[in-house]
Structure 1
Amino acid sequence: MHIGQVGQPYECGEDKLEEKVLYRLDKDGHCLVIVKAGITVQEIENIDHGIAELGIYIDGPILFLLFRFGKGSWNDAPYSWHTVPREFRMFPAEAADSNRLRISLVEAGSGIVRAVREVVFTAEFAEALNTAITVQANGSFNGLSYAKHINIVYNQYIAEDMVELAGIHMVSPI
């Protein structure tokens, strides 16, 4: 999953994108894309220069990457290795770089990348995340159960709750 360049379209020919948060591991490593309407200067500043806080919450078949940048609020991105299109699936050991997270903030209304950042994981965080993905990849998967489970989690918790339940956290300076 590419992260794009600031000031350039995230996807060529696409000027309007659906708001979403997408986390994925692919051949280039860990990526987080935040597509949002009405991005503020503070949100760009948070991504560009704010302290990055990350967490991992696992609930059944779902891994939630928890994140907060600078003065922003906690957010989450659900992940299952099995929901990644087959041509992009990658075990952490096969990825070019599984020790960092590449982040893009994209304006939904224009499709333009507004901020890009890389965060280096602590060794403990990288090991926990990569191990969780490997375990998940080697397990069984039922798409219907996954969809039901994700709804159950979101009916019970918001991102701040998941942070309290997270098995591991890290803080990365600017």
Structure 2
Amino acid sequence: MEIKKIGDVVEKYIGYHEGARFQIGEYGSTLTLLYKNPTKNEIEDISKGDIQYRITVVEDVIFLLFKFGSQSYIDCPYNINKNPDIILDELEDGLGYSCLIELIDCRNGKLKAFRFISFSTNFSQKLKQFVDEQREKYVTDDNIRAAFSKYSTNDLVKLSSARGKITRQNND
């Protein structure tokens, strides 16, 4: 696992388009947020503001939805079939999957913020259920395009079946 610090350059994201990517890997999940020239408020919201997160499935695609502070919800489609070797462990009550959140300025690839969180048990169990169910389906980018053509981010938020919240971290 690669250790990064604020200001490091992640070369593969230089010149990337804005957006969000959710991936599950060997050491947990990662939410990569790609913003062009993120503002001080966006950096603050992501690094230590309130986080709301939700999950739903439409068109056989898992959508994770995140809201940082006063920002709007962000939608992230996920397809286990792009990394089928990943197996999510069963969880005991009171435990949740981990997620590293990283904010990268896609103009220059600089890491502007990161944060490590744990999802709630209920949300994590729903994520595992959806991943296991999706594994049995043939999900492609066409499914993702179909979902985006029918549902707005606000629609996906309303359709969510599990949610969680993390309140502001005061490190001052």
TM-score by length of 1: 0.84
How far did 1:166 drift? 0.6
Flag the 1:128–1:60 CA change in 2: closer, same or farther, 3 A. Answer: same
Partner of 1:73: 72
How far did 1:2 drift? 5.6
Judge conservation of contact 1:105–1:115 (CA < 8 Å) in 2. Answer: yes
Partner of 2:8: 8
Identity fraction in percent: 24
Residue 99 of structure 1, aligned match among 97, 100, 120: 97
Judge conservation of contact 2:55–2:163 (CA < 8 Å) in 1. Answer: yes
Judge conservation of contact 2:24–2:86 (CA < 8 Å) in 1. Answer: yes
Aligned length: 164
How far did 1:149 drift? 2.3
Partner of 1:18: 17
Cα deviations by residue, 1:7-65 (Å, 9 ceiling, x for unpaired): 111237x6433333110111011110011112111100110111110000101320001
How far did 1:121 drift? 1.1
RMSD: 2.2
TM-score by length of 2: 0.85
Partner of 1:134: 132
Cα deviations by residue, 1:66-106 (Å, 9 ceiling, x for unpaired): 0011111101110010123x6xx411129xx9612110000
What stretches of structure 1 of length at least 5 have no aligned partner?
none
